[in-house]
Structure 1
Amino acid sequence: MNTRKHAGTLELRGERLCLDFTNTVGWHASDHPQEWLLSYADLLAWSRHAGIVTASQNEQLLQEARSRPALAEEVLRRAITLREACYRIFSCVVQDCSPKVEDLSILQNAYAQAMVHAQVVPIGERFTFNWPGDEQALDFPLWPIAHSATELLLSEELHRVKACPGDGCGWLFVDKSRNQSRRWCNGQDCGNRVRVRQHYQRQRTSRKS
C-alpha cells in the first residue's frame, strides 16, 4: 500500500473549496513553503480528491494533457497564480488589511472565465451554479475554485476566515464552530506541536528558577 503524501491525499480542512485550494502549499507562511502542485497531474489529483472532477473526467483530462503538454503547463501556471492571489486576498481578510488590486483582478478574471461555462441548476427548493464536465477544457478544475473564492468574499462567513497560527503553517479555514473558537488547521498537528513546545519551555523556565 502506497501511503506517500501527495496532492491527492492532502487534508481538506478549509471548509471551503477555495481555501482547501490555497492549502495545497505546506508551511505557506514560512520561508520554506512546500509546493504540492508540481505538475498538471498533481492539479488533477487534488481536484479529484476535492470532488471537482470524477474519476472518468480525471482520466480524460490526463489524456488531453498528454496530447497538449504546453497548454497543460500553462493551466498549471494559471492555477498557481490564482491560488496565490486567493491566499493573499484571504490573508488580508484575516489581518484586516486591503487586498492588492492586482490580486483582486486575478480572481475577477478567473471568475469571469468560470461564469462563461456555468449553468444554473436546481437543488431541492433553491438553485445553484454547476459546471458540466468538459474533458477537453484543461482549465475546467479552476472554474469552481474561482467561483468558491468570489462567493466566500461576498458571503456572511467572510469574518469567520482564519489562518492557522502554527509556526509557518498559514493554512486558511472558515471557523464553523458555534462560538468561533477554532484556532488550528488541525489540533492534532499544529495544535499539538505548539502545546508540546510550550510545555518544554515551561519546564526549562521552572528548572532555571
Structure 2
Amino acid sequence: METASTRRSGPRELPIVGGHLALDFANTVDDPLGPQRHDHAATYDDLLRWSTKVRMISESQAGRLRRLARRRPDEAFQALESAHELRDVLNELFGHIAESGPGVTQTAKHWTRLRPFVTDAMAAATLAGPDPDDRDGHHTSGPRPGSPPLRWAWPRPDDLAVVVHPIAAAAADLLVGDQLRRVSRCARCPWLFLDTSKNHSRRWCDMNDCGKAQKIERYVARRAAARRGGADH
C-alpha cells in the first residue's frame, strides 16, 4: 500500500502480495482509504491487464478478449460489473474471516453472495490437465511435485466472463481448504493475504511497503514525543 506522503506522477505497478488468486483480486484497489486511491480493474481492459499480470490468462487470449470486448461492449461491461461485485464479496467474506475467524454461521451468510459466481463458473468449466503457470491459486514457474493431475479450465474463446470465473472458483476452493485459517488482513491497510509464516506472525501485506511505512511512522512519532518531552523540562 502507499503512504499519504508518497508522490508519483501516475499509479504505481500494483504489488501482488495476497498469495492466492482470490485475495490478489480482492486487493486490486491500491491505497483504497488514502489520497492515492487507484482501481487497477476499473475497466475491462484493466481487468485483462491484471489477468495477464497474474498469469490467469495468456497475452494472446487477452488480445482476443480485447478485440471481442470492442465488438460486444455491453457484454464486456456486464463482465466488468460482475468482477467488481465479486471483488466486494471477496473483501467482505475473507475480511470477516481474517478478523473474526471462519465461524460457520457468519461465513455461511457471506457464502450466499459468493455462490452465484461459483455456480456460473462451474457451469462454464471443463476439466484439463495441469497448468504450468498456476497451482492452487499460486502463480509459479511450473507445477509442483504432487500437483493435482486435473484442474478446472474455461476454454470458450468468446466468453468475456473468463476473467471472473477462475477467481470465483479459487475463492470457493479457499473457503473449504486448509489455507483458510491463514487468511489475514494487513495491520496497516485493508489488503488481505495468506500468512504462511511458521508462527502465523506476519503483520503486513508487504514488509517493504506497509511494514516499512509503519516503522517510519513509529520512528517519527517517537522523535516527536522525545522533542515534546525535552521541551517540558
Q: TM-score, normalised by structure 2?
A: 0.79
Percent identity, please.
Answer: 30
Pairing 1:1-209 to 2, within 5 Å after superposition: 5=11, 9-28=13-32, 30=33, 33-96=37-100, 98-99=106-107, 101=109, 103-123=110-130, 126-166=148-188, 169-209=189-229
Shift of residue 181 of structure 1?
A: 2.1
CA offsets, 1:39-61, max 9 Å, x none? 10001110111111111100000
CA offsets, 1:80-134, max 9 Å, x none? 0001101100010011162583x42231111111112222345467433221432
Aligned residues of 2:26 and 2:91 also touching (Cα < 8 A)? yes
Aligned residues of 1:53 and 1:133 also touching (Cα < 8 A)? no
The 1-side partners of 2:206 and 2:162 are apart by 30
- Computing the radius of gyration from Cα coordinates, the structure with the larger value is 2
- Give the 3-state SS of the residue equivalent to 1:148 in structure 2: helix
CA offsets, 1:148-186, max 9 Å, x none? 1111110111111111111xx211000112222221111
Aligned residues of 1:120 and 1:127 also touching (Cα < 8 A)? no
For this pair of structures, how many residues does the alignment match? 201
1:205 partner amino acid? A
Q: Please list every run of 5 or more consecutive structure 1 residues that lacks an aligned counterpart in the other structure.
A: none
Q: Please list every run of 5 or more consecutive structure 2 residues that lacks an aligned counterpart in the other structure.
A: 1-8, 131-145
Superposition RMSD in Å = 2.1
Aligned residues of 1:111 and 1:146 also touching (Cα < 8 A)? yes
The 1-side partners of 2:15 and 2:156 are apart by 26
